[in-house]
A and B are shown apart, each in its own frame.
Chain A
Amino acid sequence: MSFLIDSSIMITSQILFFGFGWLFFMRQLFKDYEVRQYVVQVIFSVTFAFSCTMFELIIFEILKVLNSSSRYFHWKMNLCVILLILVFMVPFYIGYFIVSNIRLLHKQRLLFSCLLWLTFMYFFWKLGDPFPILSPKHGILSIEQLISRVGVIGVTLMALLSGFGAVNCPYTYMSYFLRNVTDADILALERRLLQTMDMIISKKKRMAMTRRTMFQKGEVHNKPSGFWGMIKSVTTSIPGSENLTLIQQEVDALEELSRQLFLETADLYATKERIDYSKTFKGKYFNFLGYFFSIYCLWKIFMATINIVFDRVGKTDPVTRGIEITVNYLGIQFDVKFWSQHISFILVGIIIVTSIRGLLITLTKFFYAISSSKSSNVIVLLLAQIMGMYFVSSVLLIRMSMPLEYRTIITEVLGELQFNFYHRWFDVIFLVSALSSILFLYLAHKQAPEKHMAP
């Protein structure tokens, strides 16, 4: 009986998550496009719903809501469904939509998408070989095999994003790094841009007039086609078309210059807006936060290095350690069990919410930057795949932040994975990503002022 009640609660919450994913897709991601293939929207919302359910189950675990056995059952079922989606459905549909875009293969779409999916499976399987993630006693098609590989990909993604985010966040918040941009700079650049456009226009006018006179004289201005055409063009040269190709080269170079000037001007405008923003109250608040986050970021890099160098794996979670410190060193006595439950709920809740929100915002930005009307379906499915893997590995890693008694369910459900490996792998990739982001931002920052100082 209680199982039925629990299941109905789970199903209602899943429907709610599905609805939220659907709305997010329609309002945010696909704002400028028309949804023609509803399959894509359904897959995205389903992936989102099942990923959020996993987090919900963690929260239920901490708060001890629902029956323990029904929680276990739902864990297992949820995990199976998510793996099914991430390993079978989404890659297949990605292959299908890629193949649909290529006109040549349109007839045998299904066949080629199956081939693509098999290639994906092969590489996915090979991924597990170099990593010491499994003990050999597991069968070939067990959950552990799939989870371990999904976990590797997801943890890599998480570490890359965290590393870059940890460095980029103070860089964007702090106004110390803002270059000084004046209105005169922007005006000067705009004038150069318009001058370049005028030069392009005058050359295009010459070309248009030449083409017109050639057309009126009856000369056909087409590229020489065929074998005899090429032979003829060697001996007899049409002066008009020769001139045209020369001017066309000049125009190409000028157009490249105009593009660069346009991007630089947009960059200057963005910097100016940021300078104006930093003078407001909100801007000052974010500036202060930036200093705080930079200290936090340095600390994280330091800890990651220590972990790797000294081969250290944290055994206790921050909550228990915090409580130990307060009890032992500060002498404050309080009910450990009660407080550990609530504090870990709050901590885990915050981690979950911020990571979901952060991921959705990053995905949206990424989508706007690279999608076009042709490839929007493929990109959304790729994003759904990334999102699913990201959330699965968050569950893996969140285990570390929870006190021992709550960890058992995750260990039971996910099977015998080498959790320590994942934490080590996260630290390594985080360090690599953070250091390369620092290098990259340093180079970009150094290079920018030189471009604008030149007359």
Chain B
Amino acid sequence: MKLKVLPSILSSGWSTTPEQALTPGCSKMASLDRVKVLVLGDSGVGKSSLVHLLCQNQVLGNPSWTVGCSVDVRVHDYKEGTPEEKTYYIELWDVGGSVGSASSVKSTRAVFYNSVNGIILVHDLTNKKSSQNLYRWSLEALNRDLVPTGVLVTNGDYDREQFADNQIPLLVIGTKLDQIHETKRHEVLTRTAFLAEDFNAEEINLDCTNLRCLAAGSSNAVKLSRFFDKVIEKRYFLREGNQIPGFPDRKRFGGGTLKSLHYD
């Protein structure tokens, strides 16, 4: 089945642009702008379930390991309920793997970190190590020190200053809330509050198998909406004033720059 479908895609796929509407009512699709948000975290914390929940409003039935990167798209109404309401596409890039991967895997992952507009850091509330690894994940994505051979240099030390002048909005999400026993809940939530403060970010704690956690109108949904609004603002509305440097093109291979293939 896959083999039959693939050639038809390869021949027609790149020529099919968003302007060609396929279903009625999609004519406004062409005019929608988009933003790119990374979803980072250790393997097994529930990033794929989270992305599925955010984009398709369904619980992921059979989660399996993410190899490479899987993308999903959420349609978001910026400034919902106000006259300036506008719809945007939010691309959620779920990058798989662990912080301790081989440097070749890290170099390959780095290709996904180009022109990022927002980062969601996911950790497992039942596993302290996954929370600690978030520092290394954020450094890997935000890191601007690249040795010309293409190997990322992370000294692993968390530097508050690096986060102080960081322009990319962050959001910290803790998963598997249902597996924390009632008595330990307070201690765990205090710890995660400190974590979110370190990143200068909001935090959401939820259970990815429960649809009601992100029900419209709940505090979680409001925080999420605010985060996406902030990402869109930084990307589209603050450009006129001061030029946000955005994410610089990475220098690789001894001086050549990799052209960003996303044409904004």
Enumerate chain A interface residues (CB-CB to B < 8 A). Answer: 31-34, 183, 187, 190-191, 193-195, 197-202, 204-213, 239-240, 243, 249-250, 252-259, 261-263, 265-267, 269-270, 272-273, 276, 368, 372-374
Is the pair A201, B71 in contact by a Cβ cutoff of 8 Å? yes
* C-alpha spacing A191/B262, complex, angstroms: 11
Between A and B, 28 residue pairs with Cβ closer than 8 Å are A31-B100, A31-B129, A32-B100, A32-B130, A34-B128, A183-B256, A190-B111, A193-B111, A194-B111, A194-B261, A195-B14, A197-B112, A202-B16, A202-B18, A204-B55, A205-B29, A206-B22, A206-B23, A206-B26, A208-B74, A249-B1, A252-B2, A266-B104, A266-B105, A266-B108, A372-B43, A372-B44, A372-B65
User: What string of 1s and 0s marks CB contacts (under 8 Å) between B63-74 and chain A?
Assistant: 001011111111
Is the pair B73, A205 in contact by a Cβ cutoff of 8 Å? yes
Q: In whole Å, how far is A194's beta carbon from the nearest beta carbon of chain B?
A: 5
Known: A194-B261, A205-B73, A273-B104. A253 touches B253 (CB 8 A): no
Is the pair A34, B129 in contact by a Cβ cutoff of 8 Å? yes
Stretch from B5-13, B165-173, B191-199 contacting the other chain: B5-13
Is the pair B91, A263 in contact by a Cβ cutoff of 8 Å? no
Is the pair A187, B258 in contact by a Cβ cutoff of 8 Å? yes
Q: Is B107 part of the binding interface, using a Cβ–Cβ cutoff of 8 Å?
A: yes
Known: A34-B129, A243-B23, A257-B6. A208 touches B107 (CB 8 A): no
Q: Is B219 part of the binding interface, using a Cβ–Cβ cutoff of 8 Å?
A: no
| Closest Cβ neighbor of B112 among chain A residues | A197
Residues in A whose Cβ lies below 8 Å from that of B32? 205
Enumerate chain B interface residues (CB-CB to A < 8 A). Answer: 1-2, 5-6, 9, 13-14, 16-18, 22-23, 25-26, 29, 32, 34, 42-44, 55-56, 65, 67-75, 89, 91, 98-100, 102-105, 107-108, 111-112, 124, 126-130, 133, 149-151, 253, 256, 258, 261-262
Residues in A whose Cβ lies below 8 Å from that of B72? 204
Is the pair A213, B108 in contact by a Cβ cutoff of 8 Å? no
* C-alpha spacing A265/B67, complex, angstroms: 12
* C-alpha spacing A102/B23, complex, angstroms: 44
* C-alpha spacing A252/B26, complex, angstroms: 22
Q: In the complex, which of the residues B29, B105, B124, B127 contacts A206, with contact meaning CB atoms closer than 8 Å?
A: B29
* C-alpha spacing A361/B187, complex, angstroms: 37
* C-alpha spacing A364/B32, complex, angstroms: 48
Known: A206-B26, A276-B149. A373 touches B71 (CB 8 A): no
Residue of A33, A207, A209, A239 with highest tally of chain B CB at under 10 A: A209
Residue of A198, A256, A368 with highest tally of chain B CB at under 10 A: A198
Known: A209-B75, A243-B22. A33 touches B127 (CB 8 A): yes
| Closest Cβ neighbor of A35 among chain B residues | B129
Known: A200-B71, A208-B73, A259-B67. A269 touches B104 (CB 8 A): yes
Residues in B whose Cβ lies below 8 Å from that of A204? 55, 71-73
| Closest Cβ neighbor of B42 among chain A residues | A32
| Closest Cβ neighbor of A193 among chain B residues | B111
Q: In whole Å, how far is A14's beta carbon from the nearest beta carbon of chain B?
A: 30
Q: In whole Å, how far is B109's beta carbon from the nearest beta carbon of chain A?
A: 9
Residues in B whose Cβ lies below 8 Å from that of A262? 67-69, 108
Residues in A whose Cβ lies below 8 Å from that of B75? 208-209, 212
